[in-house]
Amino acid sequence: MSFVKIWIHAVFATKQRFPYFTKNNKWEIINHIKTNAIEKNIFIDHINGGAEHMHCLISLNGDQSISAVMQLVKGESSFWINKNNVVQGKFHWADDFYAVSVSESQIEKVRLYIKNQEEHHHKRSWEEECNEFMEKYGFTKSLG
């Protein structure tokens, strides 16, 4: 038996960064994403976000790819949100996402960062945060 644990910090946004998530619906959506992930054998350690994006700390196992996991998470949650009219209008995630590996020594730091998204976004906008991540990790295109 192989033993694999690959930590990933993934961030994904709503289409055109539309602020669909409110205090009234964000936790319902997050709880659904977590429940659905468990059913699909996806381990989401932490998830939180702002009005137009989500951060996830995910542990991949040996037979998972980040692309497949993100497709399952985003695709199913989008379907569920629309089917249950959780937000006003037609909901869509942006096509793109970004993801970076996280070393075991940085897990607590990433957990705190994700947990404190509301506080974090009082100080910095999604666009500022996204640009910082793009620069920090050497990406050349921003999400949208």
Which H or E element spans position 87? none
pLDDT surpassing 70 at residue 27 = yes
pLDDT at position 22 = 93
Short-list 37, 61, 57, 34, CA closest to 45? 57
pLDDT digits (tens, 9 = 90+) for 115-135: 998 776 677 777 787 777 778
Domains and CATH numbers, the chain: 6-136 (3.30.70.1290)
Distance CA 108, CA 58 (A): 13
Distance CA 61, CA 2 (A): 9
> What's the predicted TM-score (pTM) here?
0.87
**Which are the contacts of 137, defined by CB distance < 8 A and separation ≥ 6?**
98, 100
